[in-house]
Structure 1
Amino acid sequence: MNLRRKQNGEVCIVLSGAAGQGIQTVEHVFTRIAKDSGFHVFATKEYMSRVRGGNNSTSIRISERPVKAYVDRIDILVPLNDNALERLRSRITSETIILGNEKYVRGEKNALVVNFEEIAESFGNKIYENSVAIGVLSGIIGAQEEALVKHIAAYFSKKSEDVVKANVNAALKGLEIGRTLGLKFELTPSEEVKSHYLMAGYEAVARGAIAGGCNFISSYPMSPATTVFTELSRLSKEYGILVDQAEDEIAAANMAIAAWYAGARAMVSTSGGGFALMTEAISLAGMIETPIVVHLGQRPGPATGLPTRTEQGDLNLVLYAGHGEFPRVIYAPGNLCEAYELTAKAFNIADKYQIPVFVLTDQYFLDSFYNVETMPDVKIERSIVKTDENYRRYEITESGISPRGIPGYGTGLVRVDSDEHDEYGHITESAEVRKKMVEKRLRKLNLILEDTVPPKLFGPENYDYLLVAWGSTQLVLKEAVELLNDEFGLNIALLHFSQVYPVHPSITGFIEKAKKTIFVEGNATGQFANLVKLVFGVNTDERILKYDGFPFSVEEIVERVLGVLGELRKGDE
């Protein structure tokens, strides 16, 4: 079976060129035109760590059905510089149409010459080239002229009236050309989709933080997590969020802890290299039992690694961050709704249990977007008490949760200390008190387990084979499982974890039902598989791992699962 063959009711378009050529402009405007024309949209990007030059690309799926995952297939490739074709050669098939300026498509099979630059110059300047490309692609998919004019005009609205008019006219000429190219991508639009809205992963995390009551964000910029920081900054006036770009990550984490102590709901957004500097603050939060929410957008390490690529390599980092022993919770959303809901939940859980809570995403998740209808309902749950004169910040309780007061709310003194302390917060070196305090803090885990988010099963309930995954791979694996069952007759399911610590104990029952279980992770060692094996003692040795800086595609998962099951079947014979 050709996994990269053309699909009815769908077209996958890839644009590739140098940084600074406006690829993101085309992506932004074209996807919104497509959505407002009634089509489902998914888009993701990959880019080099350069301000200019190099070669970047964006992959856009336009479909009459919901699409929410990355595929290798390219139906239409638009190369915008000399390096684009060779860099994407492995994804080009005999069915791929290569469309663009003659100098970039010359000699290619299925080349379709559309000289964007010449058309743009006819409207006064070759800088209108991107608007021409947007128009041509809109014509190919059957987009509505009204949507085209609306979004071109909106995007260039801060320019002069003449520039806006020229871009609109260039795009309309492109639309006319696109409609007459004779490409057969018949897509049926839906009126319902027009009311959806496009959302990226970073927007879902930021909006989820707001829904969870976030009113303080302190961060130091680091790709790819900066997008969450900048989105909250953009929305800060509207939602009353205090924003601080700290001098470094150490300061950012300490400020967030101080904000929680004062009664705010604070978050830091960082990546692995930045979080490495925060680990002392995480221990501080563990000792003084002050909440903190940390969003960590993963990218390949160690050190600078691949700063603009993707990986699921930091689970161990957040799982074991900080010295000493204290409880924590780690979420890893698999879709936009989960990102929104779990980020909001992170604030409630941090507040309730007075612990660090982590939201793990990655570059692929943060930079991908698709259309959604609505977000789940969430509510803010506060766990602050009014203090009295005999207030004991670290009161020994059966649950391990002491009453958390804030300065000025009541008559008590809210004393916290990074040294070991007694119930009132006074420093102590008593062995007896030390033992009681450690046990008090760890007793929270019993209740945290009751709040643990269970995994989701996708596919048949009575499966033969089971894929186990976490975080951003959910939707790619879900589509791959559907393909494996429908096209290859496998009886396979996906078990996805959006909370990776504590691990929900139901996992053992799911694994026991399967003839074979395969863990799928975007790292080199199988960090989640190792954790499951450590905690539950089950066999997690069969793994599909990826650590080249690029995300899994649907086709890659199908091919690798078939390869593993083929080897397993040989071993059974």
Structure 2
Amino acid sequence: MPVFLKEEDISLVLCGEAGQGIQTVEAILAQAVKQSGYNIFSTKEYMSRVRGGQNSTEIRVSSHRVASYVDRIDILLALSSGAIDHLRDRISQDTLIIGDPEHIKSAKEEKTAGFSLDSNFIEVPLMETAQEMGGPIFANVIAAGALSCLLNIPKEIFDGLISDMFTRKGQEILQKDLKAGEAGYNIGKGLMESEKAPIHLSLHGKSSVRDELLINGTDAMGFGCLAGECRFMSSYPMTPSTPLQTFLASNAHDFELVYEQAEDEIAAINMALGASYAGARSIVATSGSGFALMEEGVGLSGMIETPVVICIGQRPGPAVGLPTRTSQEDLNLALYSGPGEFPRVIFAPGKLEDAFTLTQRAFNIAEKYQIPVFILFDQYFADCYYNIPFLPLEEVENENYLVKTTPEYKRYLITHDGVTPRGIPGYGDGLVVVDSDEHDEEGHITEDLKIRTQMVDKRLQKMEQIMEDAVAPELVGEDDYHSLIIGWGSTYWPIREALENISRKHPDEKLGFLHFKQVYPFHKSVAEYLEKAEDVIILENNAQGQMANLIKLETGFEIQEKFLKYDGMPFSVEEVQERVMKFMGMGDDGLMEDNSAQDEGEVLK
């Protein structure tokens, strides 16, 4: 009997040990899928080790736009003997498991969730074929070829990508990889014609998708840095911020940007502040545990009123925690970092387009108000890929706030809005004095208590205008909602897709989704959104509901229903659906069974 997997939206998962080349398969398939006109979403979960353990990559291939992680596995390609056990909780009776006989033999007779998987297995000679090609190293290309064949990806597209990827290694290796890919295609043809269970996948591509961008969160933030005219980055490598550092370092020459790998995080933020003092738009990127070392530098930024953009890649803590997993645990860290009281702004993008525009905006806001501006992202957002039509370049507008100084220039002149015209050394005739101690209007150290009070008031006075410039949260769904779901940062797409599925099955339910892309300070509309709802539920990847607590602190509104996840994995669409439906008193009616009609904005306007 034929195996008909979920049409229009197929979830492929590759799982194997670190070092087996799973990322190579992902890179090949991602581009091949897009060039074939299919939409794609890809995310990975991996252990903090060079070899061993079990890593997996999920690739959703769809006829409509997809941008969310799902628990569902339609096809599992097991590249190691531990793959099935690692993903056991996500395997269902409908999961088709493909793997080498030696990798799946121990699991064939076991039971998962009360059912036998014996009929779900299809054995393919991956390792035997790889040995024939020249060794186990070719297994990943063979696997990529087999899956490409199943997805009806033209062979010429696949071969072109193999050539692009391996030409630099020389013709001999390239030819072996092309041969391995062809062997994979032959395996795929065998699976489509299998007597046991021929595999037929149904997808409809669009030619327009081929010309779209396929980028991840890191790329989007990197492009935002370039669009924001970033001229200096200093950082110490730390997952998940290292790819952003690599992005800017690799583009430094073309964009007149200086990248400096500092000896530690303390040096990194102080270098960035020094560059900013000299007039360069500057950024540092780190993780939460790395940022903990930067906190004194954040206070320095506040005291000397020198702008800096700080990207924090969130991962589970405390301390080093789970270095390669995801979380939203550093909101409080960014909000309360640095001694004393001074203004700041915190952004948290949830869409690739927002990552671009908010990062570019961060430089403008930092320069305008002479403050530290934070961008909170996480491992999941940094690593996930999906295709988008374009980045909103039309929204880019950079503002220059530097002034040419006069001989009478005072760096901290008290003004009506707290913002002193900012001069830099060498631009004009004035002297630009800064000091980490409290200072007078000229910048000289003072212990005059009256001046101290005036300077604190001056710095905090900026908040009035900063709040006027705040980015409004995005409301998705019904304007006359009864139930309001709240998320921030990377929870955007899992929540949105889940609510679209619910609305499709329950069109009479009045659902709204409020997504915060600026998490401090809040836009003035926030309180109105909250008070309008009969029920409010919030989803966060932390254990204490940090955003819910901030909402209560800033608005007085207490959110009673919190869905908190802090195991190091992102929210899946299914998890969000289950929790929201339970909260609203609805039964599970198989909402993930068919979302083939879904496209961005179709259900929740």
Question: What is the TM-score when the length of structure 2 is the normalising length?
Answer: 0.91
1:110 equivalenced with 2:137 (yes/no): no
Q: Could you say what secondary structure the match of 1:232 adopts?
A: helix
Q: Are 1:549 and 2:565 matched, yes or no?
A: no
- For 1:566, what is the secondary structure of its paired residue? coil
- Aligned equivalent of 1:151: 161
Q: 2:295 aligns with which of 264, 271, 279?
A: 279
CA drift at 1:146: 1.7
Per-residue deviation, 1:498: 0.3
Report how far residue 357 of structure 1 moved. Answer: 0.1
Which amino acid in the other structure matches residue 42 of structure 2? A
Q: Deviations over 1:386-413 (max 9, x none)?
A: 0000001001100110010011100000
What is the match of residue 322 of structure 1? 338
State whether residues 309 and 373 of structure 2, in contact with CA within 8 Å, keep that contact through their aligned partners in structure 1. yes
CA shift for structure 1 position 488: 4.0
State the secondary structure of the residue aligned to 2:167: coil
Q: Confirm whether residue 331 of structure 1 aligns to residue 351 of structure 2.
A: no
Task: Give, in whole Å, the separation in 2 of the partners of 1:440 and 1:8.
Answer: 60
Give the residue type in structure 1 aligned to 2:444: H
Q: Does 1:492 align with 2:502?
A: no
Aligned residues: 564
Displacement of 1:125 in angstroms is 3.2
Displacement of 1:310 in angstroms is 0.5
Question: Which of 413, 418, 435 in structure 2 is aligned with 1:417?
Answer: 435
Q: CA deviation at 1:563?
A: 2.0
- Alpha-carbon spacing, 1:143–1:22, altered in 2? closer, same or farther (3 Å): same
- The answer to whether residue 186 in structure 2 is matched with residue 176 in structure 1 is yes
Contact 1:142–1:179 (Cα < 8 Å) also in 2: no
Show CA shifts across 1:137-190 (max 9, x none): 001111111210111111112112021011112212322332342312111111
1:12 aligned partner: 11
- Measured in 2, the distance between the counterparts of 1:6 and 1:346 equals 44
Cα deviation 1:185-221 (Å, max 9, x = unaligned) = 1111110000012101111111111110111110011
* 1:241 match: 257
Equivalence map 1:152-301=2 (5 Å): 152-182=162-192, 183-301=199-317
User: Could you tell me how far 1:534 is from its partner in structure 2?
Assistant: 0.8
Residue 94 of structure 1: how far off its partner (Å): 0.8
Alpha-carbon distance, 1:66 to partner = 0.5
Give unpaired runs (5+ residues) of structure 1. 569-573
Aligned to 2:591: none
Structure 2 counterpart SS, 1:445: helix
Shift of residue 503 of structure 1?
Answer: 1.1
In structure 2, what is the equivalent of residue 571 of structure 1?
Answer: none
Mean Cα displacement is larger for which, 314-323 or 240-249? Answer: 240-249
- CA offsets, 1:324-372, max 9 Å, x none? 0000000000011100110111001000000000000000000111111
Q: Which residue of 2 aligns with 1:25?
A: 24
Q: Distance in 2 between matches of 1:125 and 1:542?
A: 54
**Match of 1:65?**
64
1:463 and 2:481 are equivalent in the alignment:
yes
Matched, 1:391 2:401: no
Show CA shifts across 1:472-519 (max 9, x none).
000111001101111244321210000000011211211222110001
C-alpha contact 1:105 1:112 (8 A) present in aligned 2: no
Provide, for residues 516-568 of structure 1, a one-character-per-residue CA deviation record: whole Å limited to 9, x for no partner: 00011110011111011011111212111101111000001101112223399
Q: Could you tell me which residue of structure 1 aligns to residue 464 of structure 2?
A: 446
Q: Do 2:5 and 2:201's aligned partners in 1 also have CA atoms closer than 8 Å? A: no
Aligned mates of 1:544, 1:487 — CA distance in 2: 22
- Counterpart of 1:156 in 2: which secondary structure? helix
The corresponding residue for 1:96 is 95
Deviation of residue 433 (structure 1)?
A: 0.9
Letter in 2 for 1:286: G
Q: In the alignment, which of 303, 309, 314 is matched to residue 319 of structure 2?
A: 303
CA contact (8 A) 2:81 2:104 kept: no
Counterpart of 2:458, as a letter, is K
Query: What displacement does 1:427 show?
Result: 1.0
Structure 1 residue identity aligned to 2:216: A
Instruction: Report the residue type matching 1:403 in the other structure.
Output: P
For 1:429 and 1:125, how far apart are their aligned partners in 2?
Answer: 73
Which has the higher mean CA deviation after the structures are superposed, 283-292 or 499-508?
Answer: 499-508
Provide the rounded CA distance (Å) in 2 between the counterparts of 1:418 and 1:295: 23
Distance in 2 (CA, whole Å) between partners of 1:326 and 1:203 is: 31
Match of 1:124 in 2: 134
Q: 1: distance between equivalents of 2:224 and 2:189?
A: 40
2:63, 2:203 within 8 Å by CA — same for their partners in 1? yes
Matches within 5 A, 1:41-52: 41-52=40-51
Q: What letter corresponds to residue 374 of structure 2 in structure 1?
A: F
Write the letter of the residue equivalent to 1:366. A
Between the aligned residues of both structures, percent identity stands at 49
Letter in 2 for 1:332: A
CA–CA distance in structure 2, aligned partners of residues 189 and 118 of structure 1: 33
Asked if 1 retains the 8 angstrom alpha-carbon contact of 2:349 and 2:490, the reply is yes
Task: Letter of the 2:298 partner, please give it.
Answer: I
CA RMSD across the alignment: 1.4
Q: Where in structure 2 are the equivalents of 1:361-440 lying within 5 Å?
A: 361-377=377-393, 378-440=396-458
Aligned-partner SS, 2:444: coil
- Tell whether the 8 Å contact from 1:94 to 1:109 is kept in structure 2 after alignment: no
Query: Which residues of structure 2 form unaligned runs of 5+?
Result: 109-117, 193-198, 588-605
Instruction: State whether structure 2 residue 539 is matched by structure 1 residue 514.
Output: no
Q: TM-score, normalised by structure 1?
A: 0.97
| Aligned partner letter, 2:245 | F
SS at match of 2:302: helix
Residue aligned with 2:499, SS: helix
Aligned-partner Cα distance in 2 for 1:95–1:299: 32
Distance (Å, rounded) in 1 between the aligned partners of 2:257 and 2:45: 31
**Distance in structure 2 (CA, Å) of the matches to 1:47 and 1:565:** 34
